[in-house]
Amino acid sequence: MARTKRRMTAVEFDAVRPLLPNIREDRSAAARAALVDGETLAAVAQRYGWTRQAVNGLVNTFWEGLTRYHEAQRIGDNADVVLPPGYSKATFVAPDRLIAKWRAELASEATADAATPGAGKSRA
């Protein structure tokens, strides 16, 4: 069974890099070659004179950093918001015409909720 290759975009890698200040520059470059550029662990290891396992360890370190980075983003996105049950906070980028349509739909839903007794209220 084939393993799924772990990949990162250059933007993700650049976001994670400052979170790993103890990683030397050559080790960072090796991890980038594997994760962003798609080079094999063996090819990266050969170039730096390391073992494939050593490169895999670096890849794991950066991958764990990316996981922590995404978790922190999720926490930060909702840190200042207390939402009632059944509500979610969303941030997205879309064309202006779609955002205007979405806002109109939200306003319509809010009006309908306000007219319905008990709508949007927490039930304990």
Listed by start position, the domains of the chain span 10-78
Q: Would you state the structure tokens that stand for residue 15, as one six-digit string? A: 């976001």
Residue 121 has pLDDT above 70, yes or no: no
10-78 belongs to which CATH class?
A: mainly alpha
4-13, 28-37, 79-88: segment of lowest average pLDDT: 79-88
- The single-letter DSSP state of residue 17 is G
Range of weakest confidence among 21-30, 52-61, 68-77, 93-102:
68-77
How far, in Å, CA of 43 to CA of 34, rounded?
A: 9
CA distances from 40 to 7, 11, 25, 37 (A): 11, 20, 19, 9
CB contact set of 6 (below 8 Å; sequence gap of 6+): 35, 59, 63
Q: Looking at residue 58, what is its pLDDT?
A: 97
pTM for this one? 0.63
Q: Look at the block and give the residue holding tokens 């290759």.
A: 5
- Residues 89 and 24: their CA atoms lie apart, in Å, by 38
More confident residue, 41 or 5: 41
| Chain mean pLDDT for the chain | 86
Give dist(CA 73, CA 80) in Å, integer.
13
Q: Of all helices (H) and strands (E), which one includes residue 61?
A: helix 52-78
Quickly state the pLDDT bin for 123 (edges 50, 70, 90). Answer: very low
